[in-house]
């Protein structure tokens, strides 16, 4: 199951996107962009680096470290709480 301690898109933000005059693909992209902006802030804080200074390599390494924490210490030790079986429906 998902741990909801860290939310990258709140219900209120999702509702705002729903109200926007956008197509379904545009709404999906808006939600993804809002979530990504928040995740980049978390990554930047973890790395003590401004968001605008993050490199693709730093982002990849952060994801690798978060996945390693999940594997070694369990899903609740990681920032990203999903597990591959959660994504299969």
User: pLDDT digits over 53-82, tens only?
Assistant: 999 999 999 999 999 999 899 888 889 887
Q: Mind listing the pLDDT tens digit for each residue in 11-65?
A: 999 999 999 999 999 999 999 999 999 999 999 999 999 999 999 999 999 999 9
- How far apart, in whole angstroms, are the C-alpha atoms of residue 87 and residue 89? 6
Distance, in Å, from the CA atom of 64 to the CA atom of 74, rounded to the nearest integer, reads 14
Backbone angles phi, psi at 78, to 5 degrees: -95, 160
Which pLDDT value is given to residue 1?
Answer: 36
- CA separation for the pair 22, 32 (Å, rounded): 14
Q: What angle do CA 26, 39, 18 make, to 5 degrees?
A: 30
CA atoms within 13 A on the CB side of 51: 7
């Amino acid at each position: 199951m998902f741990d909801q301690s860290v939310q990258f898109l709140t219900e209120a933000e999702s509702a705002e996107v729903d109200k926007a005059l956008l197509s379904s693909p545009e709404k999906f992209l808006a939600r993804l962009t809002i979530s990504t902006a928040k995740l980049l802030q978390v990554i930047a804080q973890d790395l003590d680096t401004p968001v605008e200074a993050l490199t693709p390599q730093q982002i990849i390494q952060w994801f690798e470290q978060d996945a390693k924490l999940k594997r070694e210490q369990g899903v609740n030790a990681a920032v990203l709480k999903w597990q591959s079986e959660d994504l299969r429906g």
